[in-house]
Structure 1
Amino acid sequence: MTTTAYFAAGARLWPDYKPHLERAIAETGLDLDLITTAPDPEKVDFIIFAPGGDITDFSLYPNARAVLNLWAGVERIVTNPTLTQPLCRMVDPALTQGMVEWVTGHVLRYHLGIDQFILNQDGIWREGVAAPPARLRPVAMLGLGELGRACGQALAGLGFPVLGWGRSPREVPGIDCHSGEEGLETVLRQAQIVVTLLPLTRDTENLLDARRLGWLPDGAMIVNPGRGPLVDDDALLAALDTGKVGHATLDVFRQEPLPAAHPYWAHPRVTVTPHIAAATPPDTASVVVIENIARSLAGKPLLHLVDRERGY
């Protein structure tokens, strides 16, 4: 009997995903019917979804065996009370590589002081402004999941001392790992550059508040490609105004697009990027989705299953 997968991630994404999903289905040999509308919800076996997609009430799909999210983050879905089906987040090596490139680029930008040369092409020869060795520039990696581990290990490979922090104890080769509130203070008090790659949960919202920003060495830099609400916006703006935080590069925000009147746009110590740190590549993400469907049909455990209690 044909299995049905409902692409409910929205009409805008369908043209990008359609050829890659069809290719992945052909390569696995599945008898899988892709649909973009579901006139009979009870016949839907799998739901391919993204925030802002076509579904708000998952209870209409009682026979769906899994909801397969196209984003790494699931905070906009996992709290939906109608969602009782297993939920899988996107873990894609190509997405991870994109995040590694973005994070590494911005950490090196801060470390090397590149902005001062780009912005000061004024004929003045400035000596004595070379960067210190990377080994003297501690970097804090807040979040040691798939993305945080990969970014932290890439930075460690470049010679940066990387201090990792997570809500639960971890061991990651090349990273000095910490956990708990005491561990967070230890990490932040040493960090000259802070990267946030935590999931958004009740426990991580406003993690970087005024008190914790106060632990940073004066002039520390912040790079946030994780989730906007990880940072208390008012506290960060105050720390930027005093110079406690030297600069912040922010890719994610509480409201997106970031409103034109938001103070981040005009602040001289803030760089805004439009949620571009690590887009999901349709070609490789399609392979991940179809592989998970194939596993489910073969009676194997789903990959990247979300823990509802933890929220990711």
Structure 2
Amino acid sequence: MTSPKTDTPLQILISAPDDAVAQFQPAIAKALDAAGVQAHVAPDLPPEEVDYIVFSPNGLISDFTPFTRARAALSLWAGVDKVLHNPTLTLPLARMVDPGQREGMIEYVTAHVLRHHIGMDRYITASQGWQQVAPPLARDRKVTVLGLGELGGACANALAALKFDTHGWSRRPRTLPGITAHSGDAGLCDALSGADIVVCLLPTTPQTENVLNAATLALLAPGAVVINPGRGSLIDDSALIAALDSGALGHATLDTFRIEPLPEDHPFRAHPKVTVSPHVASLVRVETSAAVIADNIRRGEAGAPFVHLVNRQAGY
């Protein structure tokens, strides 16, 4: 596939909070230049002159109809649930699939799985004297990853490489070497039954709302750990707190929430069995994501299909 050759620079709108614009505007311009695409990247272009929209789906653009010349909307976020049902967004919509973001998610997930597997909190948060406790080997610990897409599949592969008894669940059947894959409603029960650690990496859809609830949490092994770097809507908050309070669950490490920033008075904040991180598990990396944006624009100008297009029916 050859790079496009244009005499007139493309007009690329970047619509995001000021701090994101300050980082992404020069990075995208540099990546486009490296890809051989002449372009002007700016946050304040006339809508009718915009060729591509690069945006963060947090409400800066609510009406896409003025962008009559635009060829695609390219999200800076992996999740697009905030704009998926916007009736004015009829352009091809691509989500962010960033290799740097994927690596960051693998590091976050493996770090917290190993933290709970080894039982590091007993040494970090409490002084218990000289107690030598040997955890099970990874091969004897069942870890289930809910969601086997771009991020979930990568994390499941990393955990399997560490020799965990790795299970995964997805709505549709998938095959990953070294991972016991489940699908459908019955498969969800099999994936969760007896799991020692559960990692939530599903997208937000009507089908995944509260996938971890009182009934499904009861399937886990006693004292199990839940790690959620996916979406806040995946967990029934009240059911999670009840399971933690009863001792059925041992801990929850949560990075995403229904309301963000997480309110200071939220029960998760002060709960002794909850670790809160501020949605940092898989932050977009500027340089690598700028290259993804530039490549999609290059593809569009060369007449090639866009990559990472959102399936609006599936919701991701």
- TM-score (ref. length: structure 1): 0.97
- The one-letter amino acid paired with 1:125 is W
* TM superposition shift of 1:121: 2.9
Amino acid of the structure 2 residue aligned with 1:23: K
Q: 1:206 aligns with which of 196, 205, 210?
A: 210
Instruction: Map Cα deviations across residues 9-39 of structure 1 (whole Å, 9 max, x no partner).
Output: 232211111221121122112121112112x
**Poorly superposed stretches of 4+, deviation over 3 Å:** none
Q: Which residue of 2 aligns with 1:8?
A: 15
Tell me the SS of whatever aligns to 1:59: coil
How far is the alpha carbon of 1:80 from its aligned partner?
1.2
Q: What does residue 274 of structure 1 align with?
A: 278
Match of 1:134 among 126, 134, 138: 138
CA deviation vs aligned residue, 1:42-99 (integer Å, no higher than 9, x gap): 1111000102253111112122111100111111111212111111001111110000
Q: Find out whether 1:95 has 2:101 as its counterpart.
A: yes
- The aligned runs of 1:171-186 (5 Å cut-off) are 171-186=175-190
| Equivalent position of 1:37 in the other structure | 44
Relative to structure 2, which stretch is displaced further, 29-38 or 102-111? 29-38
**Gap regions ≥5 residues in structure 1:** none
Query: Identity of counterpart residues, as a percentage?
Result: 50
Letter in 1 for 2:40: D
What TM-score, normalized to structure 2? 0.96
Which amino acid letter does the alignment assign opposite residue 276 of structure 1? Answer: V
* Counterpart code for 1:147: L
Q: Secondary structure at the match of 1:182?
A: helix
| DSSP 3-state at the match of 2:290 | helix
Match of 2:29 among 17, 22, 25: 22
- What SS does structure 1 have at the residue aligned with 2:252? strand
SS class of match (1:247):
strand
Select the residue among 253, 259, 263 that pairs with 2:263: 259
- Higher mean C-alpha displacement, 23-32 vs 131-140: 23-32
Contact 2:228 2:254 in 1 (8 A): yes
Equivalent in 249, 252, 256 of residue 245 of structure 1: 249
Q: Residues of 2 paired with 1:135 and 1:229: CA distance?
A: 31
> Match for residue 82 of structure 1?
88
**Number of residues paired by the alignment?**
309
Change (3 A) 1:232 1:257: same
